[in-house]
Amino acid sequence: MPLGSVETKLSGQRLGAPDTLGISTLDPGHRPPTMPPGRHVTIRVRMLDDTEEVFDISQKASGKVLFDLVCSHMNLIEGDYFGLEFQNHQKMMVWLDHIKPIIKQLRRPKHTILRFAVKFFPPDHAQLLEELTRYLFALQIKQDLSCGRLTCNDSSAALMVSHIIQSEIGDFEESQCRSHLLNNNYIPDQMPLIDKIMEFHSKNIGHTPAESDFQLLEVARCLEMYGIRLHPAKDREGTVLSLAVAHTGVLVFQGHTKINAFNWSKVRKLSFKRKRFLIKLRPDLNSSYQDTLEFLMASRDCCKVFWKICVEYHAFFRLFEEPKPKPKPVLFTRGSSFRFSGRTQKQVIDYVRESDFKKIPFERKHSRVQHNSRLSPLPSPRHQEVPREVSVVSNSPHLSASSGHSHGMVNGQKSLELCSHSPNGRQPSPLTSPLLNDAGSVRTDDEDEVRRKRFPTDRAYFIAKELLTTERTYLKDLEVITSFQSAVGHDEATPDSLKNAILSTFEPLHKFHTGFLREVEQRLALWEGRSNAHIKGDYQRIGDVMLKNLQGLKPLTVNLHKQSEILLELEKACRASHKLEGLCRDFELQKVCYIPLNVFILRPLHRLIHYKQILERLCKHYLATHVDFRDCRAALADVSEVVEQLQGNLIKMENFQKLLELKKDLIGVDNLVVPGREFIRLGCLSKLSGKGLQQRMFFLFSDVILYTSRGMTATNQFKVHGQLPLHGMTIRVSEDEWGVPHAFTLQVSTHADLTLSVFEHPSPPSSPRSSPSSNDLLTFPECPEDSLVEAESEDDMTPSHTSLEKPALHRGNTMVHVCWHRNTSVSMVDFSIAVENQLSGNLLRKFKNSNGWQKLWVVFTNFSLFFYKSHQDDYPLASLPLLGYSVTIPSESENIHKDYVFKLHFKSHIYYFRTESEYSFERYGTALKMSCNFSAKLVYINVLDFLKLFCYIRVMKYLAYCIP
């Protein structure tokens, strides 16, 4: 690389590396940083409240020493979001480098004023855990509004000013408010908006300064120019543009309108050569962009300043740890040695959550309101306070976990109109059991909605309610195991060791969780105010209940370790006794066993993960001064310790369970469960033969690939046609050879060549040269959309009757069958993610052509929704596998005039679901996204990625063989 050219690859240290020493703010209680010897100089720093502070510091001290002094002066814990900026000798605003000595950065320190300002703007201000931090962010927003840097429409500007003056002067009083606005300018050209500001201010009565800061940031973070610092540039055609950087990546603006964005995941390298700023993108065949984008800036220094900011933004938001310093070159330097120094956002959040320190109150210099806002809880967003004309705040909730995204976005993509309406007169969808469609079913009305709105509005309440609803389902799942023990325990085919193991393991767990559920139900009743007991004490918390019971669960840890032993003992006993195997199969076909039996055995291990997630959400929600925070944090530490102890065993057992489950779905293969074999993925591909492209089900393991077809037998299993060992396998792209797009050949020395093609067919193929119907890189062929196929995987819990012979003795709604009919694919990683995203609770359901809403108890697990009339029911009345389904928000044309509604649709099947709260809406959106929407993304996998998977497996097997 020529001198004067620098670049950086967007990578860095990930989790698992040694602890970094780059701490950019002082730990509470620590002394100020050691001052190096040398002549001292006085440096002035202008704070965000426009006051100036003077610091005496050695000229040889690094920028980090000065910054730590500033943070120590303010008792600021989350200082890593901020920085010190100054105007250099070239009249450019730059950030003080933490690594370089001050003497090398400030030519005239006595005559330079550094500005303390926000440097990194996170996407969600809820990630700011300290009230002082949010207060400083609010001051930054106030400055940006005043100078015109944060542009927005009049309604948004007036709304933000109303929150600012609520914090400064308190509740609305007309004459005082008008006088204050006449004497203070918060936005350019404020006079025409005074009446609108006062109208909004009158609606903020009762808001504390802390709540006003929260609401201000809630509005500001939705604005397109939030946190944006424009850097002038031109494109290759000479068009005047501006570049900016945000937590998502590099942005391109024309004026104040964003015209392009390059996500960090798409950017391979950023560099600059003299005046040219270069963005090198990762290869993308679907993109019209060139491999390298070039922008011309005013000078090399301008390029370098912007490049440095990009490097720091990428490291702060994308890396887990501070990147390691580059080794010093022996002879020649190549480009800049600049790197990000300090904690990343993840390190900051983890540190604040885990630290146990006393928060020191601070004085609001601009506020006349006498209120100890540190003791006030963090408010939830109040959507009803935002006027309709404000373009940045929507009127309905979002599916993403963060409520700041656009309503037209679902999982980062625009929601599409995919509801192809059925012809008039079509029969009701076979996806729903008649038991849920009769006229006597319970439907909600406005009275029920009014009742729901009387519930507490605190987010912590809904997190606690999730604990309650999922605990009810978990206790039912434990009862399935006790029912199984009763069913097989009296048979002589069941070994005494197995009987005793199940009894001694699950009976104490069932007894413990029965008491735990009772306590949670009582606490929620008090929290909701359904009795007079809430008057006598503080019951609006759940951490004390969880801490007490998780400590009571510790003596039962030995029972949790026995889950794997029971799984192994049961499999061993079934191999030894065909009678016991038949008893287990008969029990698994009962409606109460709505998922594979072995999954119920592992449920206690899965439940610990759920407790950990609930406590993490509570700790994230609470301020450290909240009465419930300490108990939640202690409970989180307890459960995290147990989860860490059991994690390795759980991974092994989940793999073992999956092998046992697949064994029941396959015929024609011996010894599927062998030591060392790991399940990786199952899914549909098209096999090329003389008859054309035929749909086949493939099973990829760590040592072999199986390809099968669906057998028309009484057992409803898949018949294995071939086994291809990965050892010695060669793979080649064979599109030119066969004339079929996206085809590749697997070649094994002991087998004939197997050519596969992966694309979507409009109809069953008739020749090897059928053309694809789309330009997707990898899609899976569709099956005919007939009611029998759909009913087999999605009607009520009865066995399938599509067989040409007698009714099936093997359940046809397993994941293998669902993947076959939906033409999709699922990996072991997807199964593990699904385990972590299980939900239960009441949902309101509506069909596409129906009027009323039906209240149901719904359990979301194993990629499926299971429907009950109430949580007391022992088995589900119907199920809906969601692989292949899309989740969106209903459009206005669908006339769904309700809050918290999301839509599930697959081909012509459309369902609407309503939740009771914004929190539940977000949780279902996140869970559906994590557990189901991946199937829609699988159709875009490149064939080369498929080949890389094989290569990776072979390399890992080779290393395992070579390294003892």
- Percentage of residues of the chain with pLDDT beyond 90: 32
pLDDT tier for residue 952 given thresholds of 50, 70 and 90: low
> Cβ distance 168 to 369 under 8 Å?
yes
> Domain boundary at 614, 643, 667, which?
667
How far is the C-alpha of 860 from the C-alpha of 638, rounded, in Å?
Answer: 27
Residue 54 phi, psi dihedral angles, 5° rounding: -115, 130
Task: Tell me, yes or no, whether 505 and 610 share the same domain.
Answer: yes
Assigned domain for 254 exists: yes
The whole-number pLDDT of residue 840 equals 94
The total number of residues shown for the chain amounts to 964
Report the sign of the C-alpha dihedral through residues 594, 598, 603, 606, in that order.
negative
Q: Give tens-digit pLDDT for 710-732.
A: 866 566 788 888 888 887 777 77
Range of the domain at 528: 479-667
Per-residue pLDDT, averaged over 261-271, amounts to 88
Task: Tell me, yes or no, whether 497 and 643 share the same domain.
Answer: yes
Assigned domain for 18 exists: no
Q: 756: which 2 tokens?
A: 């596969």
The whole-number pLDDT of residue 443 equals 45
Task: Tell me, yes or no, whether 686 and 598 share the same domain.
Answer: no
In single-letter form, the type of residue at position 234 comes to: K
- With both helix axes pointing from N to C terminus, report the angle between 459-489 and 496-527 in degrees, rounded to the nearest 10: 150
What CATH number did the domain enclosing 507 receive? 1.20.900.10
Task: Tell me, yes or no, whether 647 and 536 share the same domain.
Answer: yes
The whole-number pLDDT of residue 454 equals 55
Look at residue 626 and give its three-state secondary structure.
coil
How far is the C-alpha of 171 from the C-alpha of 177, rounded, in Å?
Answer: 9
The whole-number pLDDT of residue 162 equals 95
**Residue burial 339-371, b: 16+ Cβ < 10 Å; e: rest:** bbbbbbbebbbebbbeeeeebeebebebbebeb
The whole-number pLDDT of residue 206 equals 87
pLDDT tier for residue 544 given thresholds of 50, 70 and 90: very high
- Percentage of residues of the chain with pLDDT beyond 70: 71
pLDDT of residue 14 exceeding 60? no
Task: Tell me, yes or no, whether 699 and 659 share the same domain.
Answer: no
Task: Tell me, yes or no, whether 489 and 637 share the same domain.
Answer: yes
The whole-number pLDDT of residue 915 equals 93
Look at residue 360 and give its three-state secondary structure.
coil
Per-residue pLDDT, averaged over 228-233, amounts to 94
Region of 692 on the Ramachandran plot (φ > 0 left; ψ -120 to 50 alpha; else beta):
left
Task: Tell me, yes or no, whether 828 and 935 share the same domain.
Answer: yes
| 0.85 surpassed by pTM | no
Q: Give tens-digit pLDDT for 91-147.
A: 889 999 988 888 888 888 888 899 999 999 998 888 888 889 999 999 999 999 999
The whole-number pLDDT of residue 868 equals 93
> Domain boundary at 643, 667, 691, which?
667
Q: Give tens-digit pLDDT for 677-717.
A: 999 988 888 777 666 677 888 898 988 888 888 866 566 78
pLDDT of residue 242 exceeding 50? yes
Beta-sheet pairing, 901-906 with 909-914: antiparallel
Task: Tell me, yes or no, whether 510 and 551 share the same domain.
Answer: yes
Low-confidence winner among 72-81, 133-142, 224-233, 434-443 (lowest mean pLDDT): 434-443
Per-residue pLDDT, averaged over 925-935, amounts to 72
Assigned domain for 719 exists: yes
> Domain boundary at 624, 643, 667, which?
667
Average pLDDT, the chain: 76
The whole-number pLDDT of residue 812 equals 53
The whole-number pLDDT of residue 357 equals 54
Task: Tell me, yes or no, whether 886 and 821 share the same domain.
Answer: yes
DSSP string, 498-535: HHHHHHHHHHHHHHHHHHHHHHHHHHHHHHTT-SGGGG
> Cβ distance 903 to 911 under 8 Å?
yes
> Cβ distance 108 to 59 under 8 Å?
no
In single-letter form, the type of residue at position 870 comes to: S
pLDDT of residue 562 exceeding 80? yes
Per-residue pLDDT, averaged over 14-39, amounts to 46
Assigned domain for 848 exists: yes
Low-confidence winner among 7-16, 44-53, 57-66, 562-571 (lowest mean pLDDT): 7-16
Q: Which residue has the tokens 């197995």?
A: 498
Q: Give tens-digit pLDDT for 145-197.
A: 999 999 999 999 999 999 999 999 999 999 999 999 999 999 998 999 999 99
pLDDT of residue 421 exceeding 50? no
Per-residue pLDDT, averaged over 823-845, amounts to 89
482 vs 402, more confident: 482
Task: Tell me, yes or no, whether 598 and 722 share the same domain.
Answer: no
Assigned domain for 467 exists: no
pLDDT of residue 637 exceeding 60? yes
Per-residue pLDDT, averaged over 843-858, amounts to 87
Torsion of CA 591, 592, 597, 603, to 10 degrees: 140
pLDDT of residue 594 exceeding 50? yes
Task: Tell me, yes or no, whether 611 and 697 share the same domain.
Answer: no
Q: How far is CA 461 from the centre of its chain?
A: 21
The whole-number pLDDT of residue 729 equals 77
Assigned domain for 260 exists: yes
Assigned domain for 589 exists: yes
Helix (H) or strand (E) holding 901: strand 901-906
327 vs 894, more confident: 894
Q: Give tens-digit pLDDT for 281-338.
A: 887 655 555 678 899 999 998 999 999 999 999 989 988 777 766 655 544 455 566 6
Task: Tell me, yes or no, whether 691 and 641 share the same domain.
Answer: no
- With both helix axes pointing from N to C terminus, report the angle between 154-169 and 209-220 in degrees, rounded to the nearest 10: 160
What CATH number did the domain enclosing 751 receive? 2.30.29.30
Q: Give tens-digit pLDDT for 342-377.
A: 888 988 888 887 775 545 566 776 666 654 443 333
Q: Give tens-digit pLDDT for 205-219.
A: 888 999 999 999 999
Total domains in the chain come to 4
Assigned domain for 843 exists: yes
What distance, in Å, lies between the first and last C-alpha atoms of the chain?
Answer: 42
